[in-house]
Chain A
Amino acid sequence: MTILEYDGTFEGLLTVVFEVYEHKLGLVKVCREGITQQVFFDDKRSIASNAAKANRVLKGLTQRLSAGGVQRLYAAHLSEILGEEDNLLGFIRYAFSSSEAVESDYGNKYVNRVSEVIKMVRREKHRMEAFVRFQKMADGIFYASVEPDFNVLPLILPHFKKRYADQRWIIYDLKRAYGIYYDLNEVEFVQLDFASGTQYNKTIISSYSEDEMLYQALWKDYFKHVNIPARKNTKLHLQHIPKRYWKHLTEKF
């Protein structure tokens, strides 16, 4: 078995696919750099991302898959689940080997698994579209921090850009230490120094706009008063909003 190490990007993964075909590699295992387990007997190679090679694979995939098919693979890749690359590779190999459109062949284990992963990532995307809570800063920027299970900022970007077109905003992923910033024209990826510091919360609160506290209080009031105690159902509540998200939900902190 050959171990193929890559940089963890989607481009990198597509480059890996290119190499697999180029060198006719049979049994392979794909790993992100830095998380490869110790190997004794296997052959290990590092694959550097290469835009030209990746693009050739991309072109092939676009022809094989339905519209949106590549986008879905990209979403699955953003799950960053350990070892998931092997299923993606399995899926891609199956797609290239078959003359039919394989995406709905859920009897195939790779196709079924990839569709499951996509479902998980999509769910997280929807959760983030719902659970982002902006806080208004004195300089007029609306700031939100999140810690999603998967790396979904690239997926939620279009939604927020469309919706909040008339306000500047930042959504920051604390876990992955990067964010997206919309300046009324474009969205760019940013890194904030203070976000890793211990004074994080203090810094945020001290930069609030004048009416921020009032609206947070109003939202909490609202949340409390729409509840109907006679219908209380904690299990269902927790199923919809698992505890790990509470930290960033205004109505919950």
Chain B
Amino acid sequence: MNDERIREKLSILADAAKYDVSCASSGSKRKNDNKGLGDASNGICHTYTEDGRCVSLLKILLTNHCIFDCAYCVSRKSNDIKRAAFTVQEVVDLTMNFYRRNYIEGLFLSSGIFKDADYTMERLVRIAKKLRTEHKFNGYIHLKSIPGASDELMREAGLYADRLSVNLELPTEAGLKLLAPDKNQKDMIKPMNFIKNEIILRKEEKTLFKKAPLFAPAGQSTQMVIGATPENDQQILYTANHFYNSFNLKRVYYSGYVPVSNDNRLPGLSSAVPMVRENRLYQADWLMRFYGFNVREIVDQQNPHLDLDIDPKLSWAIRNMQYFPVDINKADLQMILRVPGIGLQSAQKLVSARKFGKLNWENLKAMGIAINRARYFITCNSQDFERRELSGTKIKQFILAESQSKYLKQKPNQLSLF
């Protein structure tokens, strides 16, 4: 192997793949039963990029040659950039050697389309197959399906990969028409449907025959680019919700558009990446998946946009003050999860701890609850509670004032969940 050449290829093809945000490597349960290399269970972030994103997988394109011309993509046909392509063996060697050194949890492979969909997909599948069968590799493999690939290849892909994904790319068909004229949603929905049905089928088989092969055990996910087209948050979240429900997706990823072109259909090269908005979308997504919120409670006709200055849970709470305050010692878990300042873990902790005795502010604080937010919405075993009849707007002001002074003291642009 020519050292310089392989280094150059890796630089080009990692560069081209980095805009795909998903890096999850969790949700699979592939075990190392054959005394081979690796396992895939709970994803580990082995390192973090300087922008604070988790690096868990070797995320590369097989090639950045592409016959399509999607406006938001660096690899688009009309873009004048250096092109490169790995051989099947090169990707296998990189994956094995990175994995052996504990750099990564596995491989996330996608590709530009060269020649046609099947020709490209066939190579992706060949890499996965080689890793699994020749090298006894049990680490995580995520393959991004090429829209338009045949069912045959998709089925084979599912046998070797832990996760398959088909990127929706843009939240609406109209957006797609505008920016990715070579693509249409039908081409994406077809393979998503196929994967969904195949997963269900294999699960049924599995209950009959223990030894039935795994099919994409970590399920499927998708991604949308945010801020390249004018959709509002309501459209985006309704689309996400629809795909969660109709295709059993494990994850929807929202990728703030990073300007890569001065195409006049797109935000200009100097526009900022919509990072706060992206973060709010992820928070909203969590509310739907883990906190029992219906998408309509988060955004609707009256509130088509997520608040940028406060998180969507707080935002919901101050619009719905009629539910508060809740008594922390009595309310059910579902309601406690809706209190701003109380996360999943502390909600569960609180519910098990109160069986032993009534909880007061001290206890709540010790359990890691953000009292400065929660106090407007709860009562506990104490005479001390918010007695003023505060309006939602007022509460928002108080909380913002407090967090702004904190914000100024530290952490200038840190983003976190709740």
Contact = CB atoms under 8 A, between A and B. Distances in A.
Contacts of B357: 105, 107
B83 interface: no
Interface string B220-259: 0000000000000000000000000000000000001011
Interface in B22-61: 31-32, 35-39, 44-55, 58-59
A173 B41 CA distance: 26
Given A142-B100, A166-B37, A221-B7, A228 B49 contact: yes
Interface residues of B, number: 62
Nearest to B368: A116
Interface string B159-191: 000000000000000000000000000000000
Contact of B94 (A136, A218, A235, A237): A218
Interface in A208-247: 211, 214-215, 217-219, 221-237, 239-241
Nearest to B352: A104
B366 A228 contact: no
Nearest to B356: A105
Interface stretch (B13-21, B109-117, B301-309, B318-326): B13-21
Interface in B327-385: 349-350, 352-357, 359, 363, 366-367
Contacts of A240: 45, 48, 52, 54
Contacts of B38: 163-164
Interface in A117-154: 126, 129-136, 142, 144
A230 B255 CA distance: 13
B289 to A, nearest CB: 22
A133 B52 contact: no
A121 B385 CA distance: 35
Given A164-B100, A165-B37, A231-B51, A106 B366 contact: yes
Contacts of A49: none
Contact of B3 (A134, A214, A222): A214
Given A233-B52, A234-B50, A237-B48, A106 B367 contact: yes
A231 B275 contact: yes
Contact of A249 (B31, B36, B47, B52): B47
B46 A130 contact: yes
B36 A166 contact: yes
B415 interface: yes
Interface of A: 100, 102, 104-109, 112, 126, 129-136, 142, 144, 162-167, 211, 214-215, 217-219, 221-237, 239-241, 249-251
Given A107-B354, A221-B11, A236-B415, 13 more contacts: A104-B356, A106-B367, A112-B367, A133-B101, A167-B37, A218-B10, A222-B98, A223-B47, A226-B49, A228-B49, A228-B51, A233-B51, A250-B103
16 contacts: A100-B356, A105-B353, A107-B353, A109-B366, A135-B101, A163-B39, A165-B32, A165-B36, A215-B98, A218-B10, A222-B10, A222-B14, A222-B58, A231-B275, A233-B413, A240-B52
